[in-house]
Amino acid sequence: MGFDMKVYIYNTTDAHIIREKYEIINELKESTFSNVYLVRNIKTEKLFCVKKIKDDKNYLDQSLSEIYVLDYLRKTGDPSKNRFVDLHEFFYFNVS
């Protein structure tokens, strides 16, 4: 199974804006290996969820597996028809 995966690394000084694209509205959930945030696309006003993986190699490996599966499902089926989460994009986000 092959995947064309683009990896982006972004830095920001504003903790409430991600990639100059998403405004964080609030945190929805914290789990063992991630935090999930409700965000708004600044241009389109469309709402999304962003999953931030905690800084641990094991968590990153697990999340990459999740991304592979979601990316595969998105490319091979209709998320709304088949009732699974739709992956819009993924990226590495680095706050320094």
Structure confidence by residue, pLDDT tens digits, 43-60:
999 999 888 888 888 888
Q: How much of the chain, in percent, has pLDDT values that exceed 70?
A: 79
CB 20, CB 85: distance < 8 Å: no
CB 13, CB 96: distance < 8 Å: no
Instruction: Evaluate if pTM is beyond 0.85.
Output: no
